[in-house]
Chains A and B, each alone.
Chain A
Amino acid sequence: MMGKTIFIDPGRCIGCQACVSACRECDSHRGKSMIHLDYTDPGQSVASLPSVCMHCEDPVAPCAEVCPADAILITADGVVQQADESRCIGCSNCVNACPFGVPKIDLQAKLQMKCNLCYDRTAYGLAPMCATVCPTGALFYGTLEELQAERPGVQVADSFTFGDVVVSTGVAMVVPADKVQWPVPGGLPVVEVNGVDVR
């Protein structure tokens, strides 16, 4: 987990889309929102999940690893940057390899874009746009200590399971105290048991 990072608490998300609108104002991808807000069971539940880039630390940035053009750079502070415009060839490898479904692709412009933690702001100590406008604190930006000072007893997790694989991330999610030792399930359905397709 990065020192100062985003903490996501889907339990607080009311699906208001303020983060989606604010994200468009970020200078590094003006006019295009990079945050995803998904309704997990529309029509049945109001539950929603905001998804920013999780800035994977181990394995480090799978999107960058599969990039055939070395277009995705990771800065020393652990932020996985969006694709370098002069290098990205628009192949979509990053889009489909990301376990969190985060990067977007503009096929006409042959360019990948993704959440870069509002690098134009966070590099100067400001909070990302989404966390700045979130009315319920579902997106919180700061250190773990700052989060815990504001929400006593809160626990977070920064590892996710995808089948047998655990992915550690720079961004963390709020979890109940009794589940802090667990990696958060990544949602990958069980498709195979002992070599047998069980879909």
Chain B
Amino acid sequence: MGVAVSLLLVVAIVLGSHCLRDFDSALLPYAVASVFLAFGVAYRYTMWISAPGARRLFRQGWRSFFSMDNFRKAPTALPKMIATYLGFQKFLGARSHARWAAHQLMFWGCLLAAAITFPLTWGWFTFTSSTGSGPGYEMRIWGIKVIGYDSASILGWLMFHGLDIAAVLVIPGAAYFLWRRMKDRGAMTGQRFAYDLVPLIALIVVSVTGLLLTFSSIFLHGGGYEFLAIMHMVSVVFTLIYIPFGKFFHIVQRPAAVGMQLFKYTTREDEQIFHCRRCQEPIDTGPYVENLRSTMRDLDLGFDQWAEYCPRCKRVLRGSAYLTQVKKGFK
């Protein structure tokens, strides 16, 4: 699977860059890292959804997605979930407003950077000027002119500083999380350097070295540019290679959670609520409980019928059993 996705990306790079005519060889290390990234993500993703818990919810999510019946009943459910859950990440606001704000800065910054970097390194975006040095520029995607602009205009400035803007968004967001990882005792509990701190440091190094490239070209007349370019390249390549194996993998996992929510939402709309066998309190939707029981059976957890009782009743029943069958009072 990983090899197939990597090969597919290589073919897309070759075709998208007009048989490498538009490919910028200076960006080759980035392109190679992105091919490795495709392999790593596809491999890890395949492994991840092979586990019973993920596999069953993954299937249910796609089943809900492809159901015309669901689409007719709630056509806005999916776009709304994508916007509120993946885009604006409302759930993070419920955890902490500061963390939500910092994560939004990182999220939009990384998204902007990825939207610029990947097509650029794959030779899909090209910028051409009929007069050689401008000021009139054309932006082409796969060789097709998309927009023409004056490099001295606001649009031109935005086009050439897109990655600087992304860096300015990412740095305060990542710096906040890094500060939190060093000060907040809750966050520090059980934290691991490679898993929790390295991704934040990597994001900051990528952003700072990227900004220094602009600083060098504007204020130092290109002084130290080559060294900075190598530093930037090394940090970006490291980050891309790290994505499938560390904390960044949640970027790939999160969209799958929308499927889980859609599955629960559509069954809840059908009022398929499952109630606790003992106290009749609602547990979740019926299809969800059945899905969980199947997952437990897949895993040889032979007490799947216990999922039909709410957590409180499980504890009370255990307490009663202890009281009647094991020990009563202080002995």
A interface residues, Cβ below 8 angstroms from B: 10-12, 27-30, 36, 38, 40-41, 45, 47-49, 51, 59, 62, 65-70, 75, 81, 85-87, 89-93, 95-103, 106, 108-111, 116, 119-120, 123, 160, 162-165, 167, 173-176, 179, 182, 184-189, 191-192, 199
A111 to B328, CA, bound (A): 37
B54 proximity list for chain A (CB < 8 A) = 68-70
Q: State in angstroms the CA–CA spacing of A31 and B301 once bound together.
A: 33
Q: Which of B250, B299, B323, B330 contacts A12 (CB 8 A)?
A: B330
Smallest CB separation, A65 vs chain B (Å):
5
In the bound assembly, the distance between CA atoms of A10 and B302 in angstroms comes to 26
- Judged by a CB distance under 8 angstroms, whether B329 is at the interface is yes
Among A69, A102, A191, max chain B CB count under 10 A is at A69
Q: How far is the CB of B52 from chain A (nearest CB, A)?
A: 8
Is A67 a contact partner of B53 (Cβ separation < 8 A)?
A: yes
Residue of B nearest to A27 (CB): B185
For A110, what are the chain B residues with a Cβ–Cβ distance below 8 Å? 91, 94, 257
A85, A163, A184: the one contacting B95 at CB < 8 Å is A85
Is the Cβ of A70 less than 8 Å from the Cβ of B296?
no
Chain A's interface: helix, strand, loop or mixed, by majority? Answer: loop
A11 touching B307 in the complex, CB below 8 Å, given contacts A66-B53, A108-B94, A119-B189: no
- Whether A95 pairs with B300 at a CB distance below 8 angstroms is no
**B283 at interface by CB-CB < 8 Å:** yes
Q: Name the distance in Å between A147's Cβ and chain B's nearest Cβ.
A: 15
Q: Contacts A47-B319, A81-B190, A110-B91; is A174 near B292 (CB within 8 Å)?
A: no
Could you name 15 residue pairs across A and B whose Cβ atoms are closer than 8 Å?
A10-B322, A40-B323, A47-B319, A68-B256, A68-B260, A89-B254, A92-B288, A98-B311, A101-B314, A108-B94, A120-B186, A120-B188, A162-B303, A165-B301, A187-B321
Do B48 and A70 touch across chains, with their CB atoms under 8 A apart? yes
Smallest CB-CB separation from B329: which chain A residue?
Answer: A11
Partner of A165, one of B53, B57, B302, B312: B302
Which residue of A11, A36, A95, A189 is within 8 Å of B317 (Cβ)? A189
Cα of A59 to Cα of B304 in the assembled complex, Å: 13
- Residue pairs across A and B with CB atoms within 8 Å: the count is 203
Chain A residues whose CB sits within 8 angstroms of the CB of B295 once the complex forms: 66, 93, 97
Contact B325 A102 (CB under 8 A): no
Q: Which 5 A-B pairs have the closest CB atoms?
A: A187-B317, A101-B311, A101-B314, A49-B319, A187-B318
With a CB–CB cut-off of 8 A, which chain A residues contact B189? 27-28, 116, 119-120, 123
User: In the complex, which range does the number of interface residues on chain B fall in?
Assistant: 35 or more
Contact of B326 among A41, A100, A185 (CB under 8 A): A185
- Per the bound structure, the CA–CA distance linking A96 and B295 in Å amounts to 12
Q: State A176–B322 Cα separation when bound (angstroms).
A: 11
Instruction: Give 1 or 0 for each of B257-300: 1 = CB within 8 Å of chain A CB.
Output: 10010001000000000000100000110001100100110011
Can you add 14 more A-B contacts, CB < 8 Å, to A36-B311, A59-B299? A27-B189, A36-B312, A38-B315, A40-B323, A47-B323, A62-B296, A68-B260, A89-B257, A98-B311, A99-B303, A123-B189, A174-B327, A176-B331, A186-B321
Given contacts A96-B289, A162-B303, A199-B277, contact A38 B319 (CB under 8 A): yes
For residue A97, which residues in chain B have a CB less than 8 angstroms away from its CB? 292, 295-296, 301, 307
Q: Determine if B153 is an interface residue (Cβ-Cβ < 8 Å).
A: no
The CA of A182 and the CA of B247, in the complex, are separated in Å by 43
A167–B131 Cα distance when bound, in Å, is: 76
**Which residue in chain A gives the minimum CB-CB distance to B61?**
A68
Q: Chain B: interface secondary structure? A: helix
* A171: min CB distance to chain B, Å: 13
Most buried by A among B58, B296, B306, B331: B306
B305 interface contact, C-beta 8 A: yes
CB-defined contacts of A174 to chain B, threshold 8 Å:
327
Whole-angstrom distance between the Cβ of A132 and the nearest chain B Cβ? 17
* In the bound complex, CA of A139 to CA of B115 (Å): 54
CB distance from A8 to the nearest CB of B (A): 9
Bound-state CA distance A35–B292 (Å) is: 24
Q: Which residues of A contact B309 (CB under 8 A)?
A: 101
A191–B313 touching, CB < 8 Å: no
Measured CB to CB, the closest approach of chain B to A30, in angstroms, equals 6
Q: Which residues of B contact A30 (CB under 8 A)?
A: 186
